[in-house]
């Protein structure tokens, strides 16, 4: 029994897991989410709701008249801090736990591939990451789902829109990487 516990700890403390194992576990988590909460996995809605609630608290009169809030009220879906926000919190603490268990305390701000192409500036890297995340968030809300909402939950339901979204997202990601790095990162992959 003790030996099995050590094997389990060894398995979860690896720096890199098998994509087949992780994919299977995410699939099981998605099934569990549907079975217990009747909700798909998704993260971007939490950020949308947090921004909307912040706006409503900061400028309540303007928020009250905004079409976004009117549409949400009409749908009976006002912005709330719900289960999606807890998923974001869980992802954060899960990543923290994973880093601790695996001993991967890498605090690299500027990866070598980025540095070779754009220089060593930490602020340039952080600015690009922030702007890229904002653009991705905008695109995800425009598509009414993110890579977890469409890519995991939607594709598991065989939704054509999700398969189309994920195909386009991967294609655009590859083209963007090729354009940004001009083929200079192949040795890093």
What are the start-end ranges of the H helices in the chain?
2-12, 19-37, 44-58, 60-65, 67-75, 83-102, 112-118, 122-142, 155-156, 160-181
> Is the whole model's pTM more than 0.85, yes or no?
no
* Residue 160 in domain: yes
User: Position of tokens 């909460």?
Assistant: 37
Kindly state whether residue 36 falls inside one of the protein's structural domains. Answer: yes
Do 125 and 98 sit in the same domain of this protein?
no
Tell me: do 38 and 70 sit in the same domain: yes
Residue 185: predicted pLDDT: 59
78 and 124 within one domain: no
Q: Which of 57, 72, 107 is the last residue of a domain?
A: 107
DSSP 14: -
Of 75, 107, 139, which one is at a domain's C-terminal end?
107
Q: Which residue's entry shows tokens 């971007």?
A: 44
**pLDDT value for 116:** 85
Positions in the chain short of pLDDT 70: 1-5, 7-9, 183-189
DSSP code string of 130-177:
HHHHHHHHHHHHHTT--IIIIIIIIHHTT-HHHHHHHHHHHHHHHHHH
pLDDT of residue 187: 59
**pLDDT at res. 18:** 85
> Which pLDDT value is given to residue 17?
83
Residue ending a domain, among 79, 107, 135, is 107
Domain count of the fold of the chain: 2
The reply to whether 71 and 113 lie within a common domain is no
4 and 89 co-located in one domain: yes
**Residue 189 in domain:** no
Range of the domain at 51: 1-107
- pLDDT (tens digit, 9 = 90+) per residue, 105-155? 778 888 888 888 889 999 999 999 999 888 888 888 887 777 788 888 888
């Amino acid at each position: 029994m003790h030996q099995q516990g050590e094997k389990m700890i060894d398995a979860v403390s690896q720096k890199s897991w098998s994509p087949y194992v992780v994919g299977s576990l995410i699939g099981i988590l998605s099934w569990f989410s549907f079975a217990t909460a009747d909700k798909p996995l998704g993260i971007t809605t939490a950020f949308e709701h947090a921004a909307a609630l912040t706006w409503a608290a900061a400028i309540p009169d303007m928020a009250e008249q905004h079409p976004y809030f009117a549409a949400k009220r009409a749908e009976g879906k006002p912005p709330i801090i719900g289960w999606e926000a807890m998923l974001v919190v869980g992802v954060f603490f899960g990543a923290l736990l994973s880093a601790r268990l695996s001993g991967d305390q890498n605090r690299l701000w500027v990866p070598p591939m980025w540095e070779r192409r754009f220089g060593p500036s930490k602020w340039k890297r952080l600015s690009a990451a922030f702007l890229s995340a904002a653009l991705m968030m905008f695109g995800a809300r425009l598509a009414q789902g993110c890579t977890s909402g469409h890519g995991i939950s939607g594709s598991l339901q065989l939704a054509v829109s999700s398969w189309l979204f994920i195909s386009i997202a991967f294609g655009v990601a590859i083209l963007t990487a090729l354009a940004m790095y001009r083929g200079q990162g192949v040795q890093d992959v």
